[in-house]
Amino acid sequence: MSFFAKVFGSGKSKDGKGPTPQEAIQRLREIEEMLNKKSEFLEKKVEQELTIAKKNGTKNKRVALAALKRKKRYEKQLQQIDGTLTTIEFQREALENASTNTEVLKAMGSAATALKSAHNNMDVDKVHDLMDDVAEQQEIAQEISDAISNPVGFGQDVDEDDLLAELEELEQEDLDEKLLNVGEPIAELPPVPTERPSVAKAKAKPVEDDDDLKELEAWAS
């Protein structure tokens, strides 16, 4: 019996039927977990044997060589486990994708069946007739709205030329009124002076100068 047969079994359930995709995926995950734990154990053993080999070295070659042989054996087992994990991971992903695709196809099939059943209950001619009725009722509703929004008798007998003539007449009246209110500006008169003109003060000054001159001549004589 091969290694995979030992790990995964014969692939058949007790009732003679193969496992479902979900059962196979679950089994693969369990095997992955087991192999990862064994891989961690072997890595620790490799570190231990390497420590023993370094510790003895040339002092005890026999013990050191034995430790290195065990380390090589553990490393070979680790390589086998890594390869097995890669294969299991690939197979699990393939099963998961297949299971997803199966569920998607089932859902799409159910949707197609439901859509077909819904269409069987519909008559295309009746649908077109119904849409024509809807369009007709929308047109009627629009006409009613237009009729309601248009006030009855408002502005229907008014001549636009008469309105323009009346507007021009009002503008002319307003212009004439503004022209009548325009007058000449009244100039402001200067304030009435409260003091004598400066000329009088200028004339008084020479009199004072003559008195001073006479006083100076009398002193000089």
77 vs 185 pLDDT, higher one = 77
For residue range 63-73, what is the model confidence (pLDDT) as tens digits?
889 999 999 99
Whether the pLDDT of residue 1 is over 50: the answer is no
- Model pLDDT, residue 69: 93
Cα distances (angstroms) measured from residue 158 to each of 154, 161, 195: 9, 9, 75
- Model pLDDT, residue 4: 43
Q: Answer whether 11's CB lies under 8 Å from 19's CB.
A: yes
Region of 16 please: left (phi>0), alpha (psi -120 to 50) or beta: left
CA distance 8 to 143: 78
Q: What is the pTM of this model?
A: 0.44
Question: Angle of helix 61-120 relative to helix 21-56, nearest 10 degrees?
Answer: 160
CA distance 131 to 147: 25
98 vs 124 pLDDT, higher one = 98
- Model pLDDT, residue 165: 82
CA distance 195 to 24: 129
For residue range 109-128, what is the model confidence (pLDDT) as tens digits?
999 888 888 888 777 788 88
Q: How far is CA 198 from the centre of its chain?
A: 89
Domains in the chain, please, with CATH?
24-116 (1.10.287.1060)
Long-range (24+ apart) CB contacts under 8 A made by 68-75 are 70/45, 71/45, 71/46, 74/42, 74/45, 74/46, 74/49, 75/46
CA distance 51 to 57: 10
3-state helix, strand, coil in the chain (%, to 5): 80, 0, 20
For residue range 138-162, what is the model confidence (pLDDT) as tens digits?
989 998 888 887 766 555 566 777 7
CA distance 8 to 88: 10
Q: Minimal CA–CA distance to 77: which of 6, 11, 3, 1?
A: 3
Mean pLDDT of the chain: 78
Long-range (24+ apart) CB contacts under 8 A made by 13-21 are 21/95, 21/98, 21/99, 21/102
67 class by beta-carbon count within 10 Å (0-12 exposed, 13-18 middle, 19+ buried): buried
Whether the pLDDT of residue 170 is over 70: the answer is yes
Mean pLDDT for 104-109 is 90
Name the range with the highest mean pLDDT among 11-15, 28-32, 176-180. Answer: 28-32
Nearby residues of 54 by Cβ (< 8 Å), 6 or more positions away: 64
Cα dihedral 161/164/166/172 (nearest 10):
-140
SS3 state at 159: coil
- Model pLDDT, residue 157: 61
Mean pLDDT for 11-19 is 61
- Model pLDDT, residue 19: 82
